[in-house]
Structure 1
Amino acid sequence: MVENRLLGTFCAVLTVTIWASWIIATRYAVTTRFNAIDIGLIRFFVPFVLLSPIWWKRGIWPRGLPIGLGLVIVGGSGVAYSLVVATALKFAPASHVGTLLPGVMSIWAVLIGVAVFGERPNVIRWVGYGVIATGIIILTALQPGQADEDTVIVGYALLVCAAFMWASYTHALRRSGLQAIDAAAFTGFWSFVSFAVIALFTGTNIVEAPLNDVLVQLVFQGLLSGVIAVVTYGIAVRNIGSTGAAAFGALTPAFSALGGVFLLGEAGSMSLILAVALVIVGVMVASGAAAKLLRR
């Protein structure tokens, strides 16, 4: 039992580290030599290849999956989501993206649940969403010294759209009956094919980029984020439960902020620290992780 919890904890921390690393690697890529199409091709090439036995065996469209749910899954976690986030990271710092994305996504998720599926969150959860909203307001309204405020606002607007996509994907995946690895294979196939078709018309910078840069992005975008994180998160959920995994997932803003400041040289501030702390606490409260951990 202890060994299982240690394994689950290790996998949860590894998953959060990968998620934060993906944000940092994408921010670096789109501000140097790659564009959003390049990132999409690299991001989904690895799952397209490594998970090919799954989509080859079970088909490129899972049997019984409604077309609407399938399109939301592919768009909300794949091609459309990747395009929007990569473009947003061209305008907004990684430390902001890592905080805003999970925070706004949580709010979108509950709004969709209430409006579409008739969910009724309790008061404690609403308090958590209020804390998240406070953190988001602090981050977006009180950040000093932005080099181009109008440009950063464009990034923020794109992040709101991306968060809506991921929240929609979360609800669609829950109702699709797909396992995480099946969804990853399904999304990987259609997203890579979509980006390959787009690249035929727009071209790509990948062939002109140094091999080392391409390999680094293949590791962070494709292997770690596209495959390993899917597996490690599943192991974490099995060994410490969905609540425990969600609690660790709430640490993504902190990891992203640290990476943005110390690895990419982004500006840090007290308002950023406060916003990160509020979003982490809010996500834990809203997800129910905080209450269950306190009861234990």
Structure 2
Amino acid sequence: MAMGYAAIITTVLLWSGFFLSLKGGAISALQPADIALTRFLLPALVMLPFVIKHKCRITVIPLRYLVGMVIGCGLPYLLIASTAMQYAPVSHGSALIPGTLPLFVSCIAIVCYQQPLSTIRKLGLTMLLIGIIVFLLSNLGSQYHWKQLYGHSLLLLGSLMWALFTISARVANLSAHVAAGFVALISLGLLIISISMGWLDSYLAQTPLSEWPWETLLGHILLQGIGAGLIASYTFLYAVRTIGAEASAAFGSLTPMVATLLAIPIFNETPNTSTWIALTFITFGGIAASNLFNREPINQQYCPPKHK
């Protein structure tokens, strides 16, 4: 159990770097497709042997869970998150994706698994809703901030997608490296097809190799490919399997505070009062919505069905 909590804390630190990388990509010449390349290429190559070795196990998993994993953590999710960060600061992005994750995970668990809610979890989910509302109200003023509202909508969609991945990964019951490798391989294939067909713009594809921003790319490879793609994928899935989906999602609520504090010196972001209020509600709401205060053992949470 202790290793599970250590894994999710490591994930929180790496997720913070993930959002810093997305913001750095959003203010550079790189396109979301280029960020996706740094995210999936290395994990796909490293994890390929594990996927091949366990391909028989993957094929017996219901297609809906495999699709849910790819949509929720693969190329579709990264494109949504990358686009959203063009319209919102790091504090908003890190709050409205991992911060609100417990809300969406709990909703899926209630609808699909009829999981009951304790009073303290209801309180936590209410605090999350308040935090979301504060963020959305921050778009209102003398003039509507339509671009930021659009960014917020994409971020909430990204959180819902990540919740889909969280539940799908738990039910699929694959080992962390196999699941991460599968998602990376499928996403890399989709990315190559999309760029080749002209469905996605790529700065790297249109620029000579000698003119690539190698220093910037190296930073994204470290944060996206190695940090988020290899290490965080393993630590998060390990935590999901060890301490449960809701508890793992709740610890993700610490990401906004960490990412926001890091963005202040790196990007000179200055969160206003409403942002700090929303961050506080989301952080403590996520913690309260977890099973940290639930005395029931982990194995009484919903369990994945056996695949035949």
- TM-score range with shorter-chain normalisation? 0.7 to 0.9
Say whether the 8 Å CA contact 2:101–2:253 is kept in structure 1: no
Q: Is 1:67 paired with 2:85?
A: no
Give the one of 32, 35, 41 matched to 2:37: 41
Give the one of 116, 138, 147 matched to 1:120: 116
Aligned partner of 1:264 in structure 2 is 267
Taking structure 1 as reference, are residues 67 and 245 closer, same or farther at Cα in structure 2, changes over 3 Å only? closer
Give aligned pairs, total.
287
Q: Is 1:215 paired with 2:211?
A: no
Q: How does 1:42-57 map to 2 (within 5 A)?
A: 42-57=38-53
Aligned partner of 2:171 in structure 1 is 175
2-structure distance, mates of 1:238, 1:65? 17
Q: Per the alignment, in what secondary structure is the counterpart of residue 59 of structure 2?
A: coil
User: What is the TM-score normalised by the length of structure 1?
Assistant: 0.87
Aligned partner of 2:203 in structure 1 is 205
2-structure distance, mates of 1:146, 1:51? 51
2-structure distance, mates of 1:161, 1:50? 29
Q: Is 1:251 paired with 2:247?
A: no
Q: How does 1:138-177 map to 2 (within 5 A)?
A: 138-142=134-138, 149-177=145-173
Aligned partner of 2:97 in structure 1 is 101
Which shifted more, 104-113 or 63-72? Answer: 104-113
2-structure distance, mates of 1:151, 1:237? 34
Taking structure 1 as reference, are residues 176 and 85 closer, same or farther at Cα in structure 2, changes over 3 Å only? same
Taking structure 1 as reference, are residues 105 and 12 closer, same or farther at Cα in structure 2, changes over 3 Å only? closer
Q: Is 1:31 paired with 2:34?
A: no
Greater share of helix: 1
> Letter of the aligned partner of 1:173 in structure 2?
A
TM-fit CA distance, 1:10: 5.5
Aligned partner of 1:130 in structure 2 is 126
Aligned partner of 1:82 in structure 2 is 78
TM-fit CA distance, 1:139: 2.5
Q: Per the alignment, in what secondary structure is the counterpart of residue 251 of structure 1?
A: helix
TM-fit CA distance, 1:268: 1.4
Say whether the 8 Å CA contact 1:246–1:289 is kept in structure 2: no
TM-fit CA distance, 1:237: 7.0
2-structure distance, mates of 1:290, 1:272? 27
1-structure distance, mates of 2:19, 2:203? 20
RMSD over aligned Cα, in angstroms?
2.7
User: What is the TM-score normalised by the length of structure 2?
Assistant: 0.83
TM-fit CA distance, 1:97: 0.7
Give the one of 275, 278, 291 matched to 1:275: 278
- Structure 1 regions of 5+ residues with no counterpart? none
2-structure distance, mates of 1:232, 1:199? 30
Say whether the 8 Å CA contact 2:247–2:290 is kept in structure 1: no
Q: Per the alignment, in what secondary structure is the counterpart of residue 15 of structure 1?
A: helix
